Structure formats: C-alpha cells, structure tokens
Amino acid sequence: MQAEPKNPQAGNSLVGREYEVEIGPVAHGGHCIARTAEGQVLFVRHTLPGEKVIARVTEGEEGARFLRADAVTILDPSKDRVEAPCPYAGPGRCGGCDWQHAKPGAQRRLKGEVIAEQLKRLAGLTPEEAGWDGTVMPAEGDKLPPGEVPSWRTRVQYAVDADGNAGLRRHRSHEVEPIEHCMIAADGVSELGIEQRDWSGMESIEAIAATGSQDRQVILTPKPGARLPLVELDKPVSVMRVEEKDGGVHRVHGRPFVRERADGRTYRVGSGGFWQVHPKAAETLMLAVMQGLLPRKGDTALDLYCGVGLFAGALADRVGEQGAVLGIESGKRAVEDARHNLAAFDRVRIEQGKVESVLPRTGITEADLIVLDPPRAGAGKQTVRHLAGLGARRIAYVACDPAALARDLGYFREGGYRVRSLRAFDLFPMTSHVECVAILEPAGKGS
C-alpha cells in the first residue's frame, strides 16, 4: 500500500475499522466524502452521493487528516447504482475502474460535478464564467445502457503475479488481481489473449492495439535477470523489450511503432510514445481544438507538449504555406516520430526539451495561436505567465486533470486571459478521469 506520510501526532491504525455513514458529494479522485461520528473525513470508494453505507477503513490512523475507506455494505442505495458489470470490480479488487457501480449517465454527472468544484475552488470560476454548459459528452458509440461497458482502452498495462498470471493492480497497491478478461480493453487488445498465457519471469506487459491500422504491439518488462519468453499470441504482434540497464525500449521483432490515424493523416507512434487511449479521443480532441481556435491562413502557432504531432499536423494543414508551427516535446522518441509524421510541412519545426526550458530559448515573442496539452500536473505558473505574454489571439488548453486545469486557468487570468469556452469529454468511461478542452482569449476581447 502507498500510505500517507505519517503524522507524528497520529495514533493507532484504524485500518479495518467500520463506520456507518451518510455519503456526501463526489470528490476528485474517484471517491465520495463522508464523515465519522467524531468528524473525521472519510474518502469512500465504491459508493455514490446520498447513499448510507458501512465503510471499512483501508488507510489511515487516529489523528490523520483523512481516512481512505471502501463501502463494503450498501444500506440505502442510490437510484444511480447498478450491479457492477465487471466481476473484478469492488472493494479490494482491481483498481482500474472507479465507477463500475454507477449508471453511465450518472458517471458523466459525477465527472461534471468534479470539474465544477475544481473550477470554483481553484480558479474562482462558475460553469457560466467558463463558458461551459455543465455537461460531459460521451464519445461516439459509448452511449450504452446500464450494464453494458464500452471496450475503449487501446493500451492496457498488465502486471504479473508470482505465478506468472497477467492481471491488473489493486487500488493504491502493488498487489495483482489476476483476470481472465478486462471489459474496458479494446477488442484489438482482448484478441491478443494476454490473460490466457504464462508470463513467468515478466514484471509487466503493455498491450497496444492501434485504431488507425491493424498494428498490434506488446512491450515486455522482464524481472531482473529473467530471459524473454517466446511470445506466441493469438494475433500477429510486434514485440518490444524494456531493458533493465537503461530503461530503454528495444525491438525484439516486428515494427518498433504502431500507426494511428486522425484528421485524415497517419501518425507513427513509437514504443513509449503518447497517443490517446480511447479510439475516438484523438479525433474528438483535435476537432474541439480546431473549432475553438479557428486557425487562419498565415497564422503562427505553437503546439506545446506536442507528442507525435497530432495538433501540430492539424494546425499546419490549416495555417497553410504562409503560416508556421513550432512544436515542443520532451520525449526523444516522440520528437523523432513527430518530425517523421510532419516531414511534408516545410513550415513546421519540432524542438526537443521541456517547454519551460526550450520556449524561452527560441526567442519567440509573439504567436497567433497556442495549443498546450500538458501532463497531469499541468503547465504551471512560470510557463503560463510566459504564454500569456505572447499575445495569442486564442489559446487551447487540453487537460486530463480538472485540478491542474483549474489552477492553470487561474494563472492565465492573472496574465490577462479569460476562458471563452470549455468542453468536457468522457474519454475514460468507468473511471474517474475526464478530458477537457478550454479555449482562452485576451480578457479585453468582447464575446
């Protein structure tokens, strides 16, 4: 277990203690908030707002700021509750899904409530002030009735237990839950048959099923000193190995990349390179960004944290030969892929390094448009301040974490930008994760 830092004033462990509690609002992180009779805060998983449950403590001690708990008995269920379709969901089981027990529409409402709470608390914005109607939109094809689960996850990281069985990690734990099938895994992952074979000697297996092609890939991480097995899966697949010495990913056989498609273009994505996990995510987010930015011929644009060049390619198409696009990405392999993917555009340049280091060195003092898709921690105050000083007509911020988004929106406001619109997409069904696209413009600009 990953325990909270120990409080020197804390008392005895409360793990295993049970409390009968009324469940309050949803919180960021896939749980809801409750309080014990003594007033101690409980973060409770496997429950829904308004329920009465028996909550069993999984982490925490007397005097801790909060406790973590699982709802082990539902005394008064919510109307939004359903029987979890997945046999591995529930207290002490697989930690991959947070909301298997909630109707699909309720999952999206919960995510919307989290976004609204983070915007208010960290950015001081109401949904109206953020230009958001409060809805979280399902991806195309994902609007299914209760009890049905979309098979959307095109990249699955399997852990291996001591007996060589492939499984998934339990919540906040290194323990492995062996599984026979992951319901949210895309068909292209499931058809490989990872769960049906012996993976003794392996630490983990990542399975990738491209949606832009028939490319399939597995990335094996052996335990120290272990030999690589002969990989015979149910479908043709390329095999990569994570080296013990340097952590690098090396080709065993097959292509060292998969091919994805978005906006009518094929993108090469090398091992370890970032591509959206949901089959519809790349196209959905690309369209939301372009509809928000409305690029013009001749514009200069920045694509920050650009990965293999998804947004840079879309921008390059739209700004034309008189425009220019600069992408910045820290991953060496992703930069190689981005340069390959966008080689047809003379006016696209990709620089390698951290945005906060590379951007000041470029000497760029102005840009018409900016796209940023930072990692979960967000861009941060320093980078946002720099971007706000470039005078962009519009900025598109793509965010996978509502808290980081809200913090950075607050920094943009300090830099003279306001949120023109915000859209939220449920690109991680059954989990607490959500993707947002915020469009910003100078505060003085009229609606």
Question: Backbone phi, then psi, for 57, in 5-degree steps?
Answer: -65, 130
**Active-site residues: which are they?**
400
Nearest to 419, CA basis, from 438, 392, 434, 404: 438
What is the gyration radius of the CA atoms in the chain, in angstroms?
23
- Residues facing 155 on adjacent strands: 208
| Residues in Cβ contact with 156 at an 8 Å cutoff, skipping those fewer than 6 apart | 182, 185, 189, 194, 206, 207
Cα 9 to Cα 12, 20, 42, 59, 63: the distances in Å are 10, 26, 19, 16, 7
- Please give the single-letter amino acid code of residue 17: R
Interior/surface letters 376-412, b for 16+ CB within 10 angstroms, e for the rest: eebbeeebbebbbebebbbbbbbbbbbbbbbbbbbbb
Q: Are 443 and 413 a contacting pair, CB within 8 Å?
A: yes
Residue with tokens 């951007």: 359
Per the structure block, which two tokens stand in for 84? 């979890």
Distance CA 391, CA 35 (A): 47
C-alpha distance from residue 437 to each of 307, 370, 405, 425 (Å): 17, 13, 9, 8
Beta strands in 271-361 (DSSP E): 300-304, 324-329, 348-352
**In Å, how far are 137, 293, 436 from 439, measured between CA atoms?**
17, 7, 10
**Residue 411 and residue 381 in contact, taking contact as beta carbons nearer than 8 Å:** yes
